Amino acid sequence: MSSAISGDLAKSPATPAAVATVLWAKQALLPSGWATGVTVNFGYDGVVSGVKSETSAPVGALQVALLLPSPANLHSHAFQRAMAGLSERRGPDPRDSFWTWRQLMFRFLDQLTPDDVEAIAAFVQMEMLEAGYATNVEFHYLHHQPGGAPYANLGEMSERIAAAAATTGIGLTLLPVFYQYGGCDKRALGAGQVRFGNDISRFADLVDAAERSLAYLPDDARIGVAPHSLRAVAAEDLARAASLRPDAPLHMHLAEQVAEVEEVLAHRGARPVDWLLGNAEVDRRWCLIHCTQMLENETLSLAATGAVAGLCPITESSLGDGIFDGVRYLGAGGIIGIGSDSNIRISLSEELRTLEYSQRLRDRSRAVLATADKSTGRVLFEAVVQGGAQAAGRPSGVIATGQLADFIALDGNSVHLAGRSGDTALDAWAFAGDDRLVRDVWSAGRHVVREGRHIAHDAITENYIRTVSRLRDA
Ligand code: ZN
């Protein structure tokens, strides 16, 4: 657990490891549904060894009001958290858009040092944990020095993400990103993109380096690979990137913006989802981020693959991406998960609410994702917990023997939960409450959020404030 990685935060007190724990919950969401009086045991390995029904708490048990499995945050670019608040003005362009935002983001990131990235990542991971996410799936593309030359250690920035995870205790699935070109026409990377760039050979070395950095973390840490997008990766190299870790999570941005769809259509003769499904073996290993620009047939075809649609409702709202067709996708049995992407705001309950409200506004309807026997909050929560685990490559997502102890305990004293239980408690959290309902969080048994705060909250926050105060507005 202790980190030999450089950086200030790695020198701060190490996050406690998982310890043998007996938890007793007044109410818990199990694979079979809601249960009252549940004892859960897990060991130092962070794996659940037993779940049983008991009307009262065993002696020595830690008691909680409402125990839930905790989802992975399946999509994050940690450094973008430090831009929050800097991108809400009109620029010189007649129309502010995703693309003008992206130019600002490219200018902003050019000043970031490895120390900055580690401090920002630790703060982001802390906020994720305090919001209820046990895992950070980091879509990590800021690899090189300003100007594009690699650091002496090719995996320097990957190590900083891992060092942050050592500090926060979050479960990490690290996805080094493969970024080759500035567009579908294979134009060279622009000035703001050169810190991301690799050819396939150096990318293979980078994945090896990133995987080595995980040796400093507990066993639940995972490596994956992430071809950035159809814009940034050549068709012939997508398969090569995917084959670098054939059994690991494979994530890619897909069909986020209209201009992106048009560019892919012009150069590859098909819209992004159509092209991908016709040219790659898309299966449960894949997680396609955004999918806010899909036609009806693409929505149904993608749902049938078993891949995860990685939705980022707050960021997609912030960037004006469009609305994912959740009604049709879930109706077809599609798998979804939630990510915080730009990290402009990290809130699990708000992501769920934003996703549901986007469907209501489009369809002028209510409770659109609820089923006959499960409420909206229940359907959404179970979907994103299970989809998040799949996308993170993590044996998690249900409270069951053999699974990682990735748990949330909600605050039974919250006014929002008064008179609520079962599905209505989840609905109250998603639609009336916020992160303050999250009282405790365990990541693979590591009890890192207690009484609503991360155990290293102050040190991580002070380091973030120092960092962000020094950074220039782009
Ligand atoms: Zn993204």
pLDDT, tens digit (0-9, with 9 covering 90-100), for 154-189? 999 999 999 999 999 999 999 999 999 999 999 999
Backbone angles phi, psi at 141, to 5 degrees: -125, 0
The rounded Å distance from CA 76 to ligand 1 centre is 6
**At residue 7, does pLDDT exceed 60?**
no
**At residue 3, does pLDDT exceed 50?**
no
In this predicted structure, what is the pLDDT of residue 98? 74
3-state DSSP assignment of residue 410: strand
Whether residue 125 contacts residue 455, with contact meaning beta carbons closer than 8 Å, is answered with no
The rounded Å distance from CA 341 to ligand 1 centre is 5
Q: Read off the pLDDT of each residue in 340-361 and give the average, rounded to a whole number.
A: 96
Q: Read off the pLDDT of each residue in 362-370 and give the average, rounded to a whole number.
A: 92
The CATH number of domain 8-69+397-458 is 2.30.40.10: yes
Task: Report residue 197's pLDDT band, with 50, 70 and 90 as the boundaries.
Answer: very high
**At residue 88, does pLDDT exceed 80?**
no
The rounded Å distance from CA 21 to ligand 1 centre is 36
**Among the listed residues 322, 447, 437, 324, the one whose alpha carbon sits nearest the alpha carbon of residue 383:** 324
Whether residue 405 contacts residue 169, with contact meaning beta carbons closer than 8 Å, is answered with no
Task: Report residue 13's pLDDT band, with 50, 70 and 90 as the boundaries.
Answer: low
Residues that place a CB less than 5 A from ion ligand 1: 341
Residue numbers annotated as active site: 290, 341
3-state DSSP assignment of residue 273: helix
Size of the chain in residues = 474
In this predicted structure, what is the pLDDT of residue 319? 84
Outline which parts of the chain fall under CATH 2.30.40.10: 8-69+397-458
In this predicted structure, what is the pLDDT of residue 92? 72
Outline which parts of the chain fall under CATH 3.20.20.140: 72-392
pLDDT above 70: percentage of residues in the chain = 96
Higher-pLDDT residue of 14, 252: 252
In this predicted structure, what is the pLDDT of residue 87? 75
Q: Which residues pair with 50 in a beta bridge?
A: 41
* 72-392: CATH class: alpha beta
**At residue 297, does pLDDT exceed 90?**
yes
**Among the listed residues 276, 281, 286, 290, the one whose alpha carbon sits nearest the alpha carbon of residue 329:** 290
In this predicted structure, what is the pLDDT of residue 103? 82
In this predicted structure, what is the pLDDT of residue 256? 84
3-state DSSP assignment of residue 73: strand
The rounded Å distance from CA 252 to ligand 1 centre is 9
In this predicted structure, what is the pLDDT of residue 194? 94
In this predicted structure, what is the pLDDT of residue 2? 37
- Beta strand 250-254 with 286-290 is parallel
For 439-467, write each residue's pLDDT tens digit: 999 999 999 999 999 999 999 999 999 99
